[in-house]
A and B are shown apart, each in its own frame.
Chain A
Amino acid sequence: MTKDMRTPILFAVMALLFILEGTTSFWVFSGSWNTSLAILNMALISAIMALGVNLQWGYAGLFNVGIMGFVALGGLATVLISMPATPGAWTGGGFQIVFSLLLGAGTVAAAISLFKRMAPGRNRGIALFALLAIGFFLFRYVFDGGVEGVEAINPASTGNIGGLNPGGPDGYKDHGYMALIAWPVGGLLAAGAAWIVGKTALGLRSDYLAIATLGIAEIVLAVVKNEDWLARGVKNVIGLPRPVPYEVDLQNSAEFVAKAESWGADVTTASTIAVKLSYGLLFTAVLLVLLVLAQLSLKSPWGRMMRAIRDNEVAAQAMGKNVTKRHLQIFVLGSAICGLAGAMMTTLDGQLTPGSYQPLRFTFLIWVMVIVGGSGNNFGSVLGGLLIWFFWIKVEPIGNWLMQVVTFGMEDGSSLKAHLLNSAAHMRLFSMGIVLLLVLRFSPRGLIPEK
Chain B
Amino acid sequence: MDFLNAIVALSNFVLIPAIAYGSQLAIGALGVTMIYGILRFSNFAHGDSMAFGAMITIFVTWWFQSMGVSISPLPTALLALPFGILGTALMVLATDRMVYRFYRQVKAKPIVFVMASLGVMFIMNGVVRFLIGPGEQRFADGARFIIKARDFKEMTGLREGLAFKTSQGITVITAILIVAFLFWFLNKTRTGKSMRAFSDNEDLALLSGINPERVVMVTWIIVASLITIAGVLYGLDKSFKPFTYFQLLLPIFASAIVGGLGNPLGAIAGGFVIAFSEVTITYAWKKVAVYLLPEALEPSGLAQLLSTDYKFAVSFVILIVVLLIKPTGLFKGQSV
Q: How far is the CB of A229 from chain B (nearest CB, A)?
A: 13
List, in ascending order, chain A residues with CB within 8 A of B124's CB.
433
Cβ–Cβ contact A428 & B126, under 8 A: yes
Interface assignment of B120: CB less than 8 Å from any CB of chain A: yes
Whether A225 pairs with B253 at a CB distance below 8 angstroms is no
User: How far is B42's CA from A207's CA once the two chains are assembled, in angstroms?
Assistant: 6
Q: Are B323 and A226 in contact (CB under 8 A)?
A: no
A214, A360, A367, A436: the one within 8 Å of B250 (CB): A214
A215 is an interface residue with CB less than 8 A from chain B? yes
Complex interface: chain A residues within 8 A of B312 (CB): 215, 218-219, 222
Instruction: Verify A441–B102 contact, CB threshold 8 A.
Output: yes
Query: Do B99 and A433 have beta carbons less than 8 Å apart?
Result: no
Segment of A156-164, A198-206, A300-308 engaged in the interface with chain B: A198-206
Cβ-defined contact, A429 with B129, below 8 A: yes
Cβ < 8 Å to A, chain B residues 141-171: none
Tell me the nearest residue of chain A to B131, going by C-beta: A423
Chain B contacts with A in 67-120, Cβ cutoff 8 A: 99, 102, 109-112, 114-116, 118-120
CB distance from A4 to the nearest CB of B (A): 29
Q: Please measure, in the bound complex, the distance between the C-alpha atom of A279 and the C-alpha atom of B99, giving whole angstroms.
A: 41
Q: Is A397 interfacial (CB-CB < 8 Å)?
A: no
Q: Does B245 contact A (CB under 8 A)?
A: no
Contacts of A441 in B (CB 8 A): 99, 102, 116
Q: How large is the interface on A (under 10, 10 to 19, 20 to 34, 35 or more residues)?
A: 35 or more
Assess whether A200 is in contact with B309, with CB atoms less than 8 Å apart.
no
- CA distance in complex: A321, B41 (Å): 27
Q: Select A426's contact among B109, B130, B250, beta carbons within 8 Å.
A: B130
Q: How many A-B residue pairs have CB under 8 A?
A: 132
Q: How large is the interface on B (under 10, 10 to 19, 20 to 34, 35 or more residues)?
A: 35 or more
Q: Are the C-beta atoms of B310 and A437 separated by less than 8 Å? A: no
Q: Does B249 contact A (CB under 8 A)?
A: yes
Q: Is B44 within 8 A of A219, CB to CB?
A: no
B323 near A200: Cβ-Cβ < 8 Å: yes
A423 surroundings in chain B (CB, below 8 A): 129-130
Inter-subunit contact B102/A215 (CB<8 Å): no
Are A210 and B102 in contact (CB-based, < 8 A)?
A: no
Q: Does chain A have a CB within 8 A of B180?
A: no
- Interface residues of B: mostly helix, strand, loop or mixed? helix
CB B107 to nearest CB in A, in angstroms, measures 14
- Residue numbers in A under 8 Å from B246 (CB-CB): 359
Residue in contact with B42 in the complex, picked from A210, A364, A429, CB distance below 8 Å: A210
**A216 proximity list for chain B (CB < 8 A):** 316
A212 touches B120 (CB 8 A): no
User: Which B residues lie within 8 Å of A440 (CB)?
Assistant: 112, 115-116, 119
Interface string of B173-206 (1 = CB under 8 A from A): 0000000000000000000000000000000000
Contact B126 A433 (CB under 8 A): yes
Known: A423-B130, A437-B123. A367 touches B118 (CB 8 A): yes
Say whether B122 contacts A200, CB under 8 Å: no
User: A1 CA to B323 CA in the complex, in Å?
Assistant: 50
The interface residues of chain B lying within 8 Å CB-to-CB of A437 are: 99, 116, 119-120, 123
Task: Give B residues with C-beta under 8 Å from A.
Answer: 41-42, 44, 99, 102, 109-112, 114-116, 118-127, 129-130, 134, 246-247, 249-250, 253-254, 257, 301, 305, 307, 309-310, 312-313, 315-316, 319-320, 323-324, 327, 335-336
A-B contact pairs, 13 of them (CB 8 A): A200-B324, A204-B323, A207-B114, A210-B42, A211-B319, A215-B312, A222-B313, A427-B130, A430-B127, A432-B122, A433-B125, A437-B116, A437-B119
Question: When A and B form their complex, which 10 residue pairs have the shortest distance between CB atoms, in order from nearest?
Answer: A433-B122, A430-B126, A433-B123, A429-B126, A215-B316, A437-B119, A436-B119, A207-B42, A426-B129, A218-B312
Which A residues are closer than 8 A to B by beta carbons?
61, 63, 65, 136, 140, 144, 200-201, 204-208, 210-212, 214-216, 218-219, 222, 225-226, 359-360, 364, 367, 371, 423, 426-434, 436-437, 440-441, 444
Given A423-B129, A436-B119, 12 more contacts at CB 8 Å? A65-B118, A140-B305, A200-B323, A210-B42, A222-B309, A222-B313, A364-B122, A371-B115, A426-B126, A429-B129, A433-B120, A437-B116
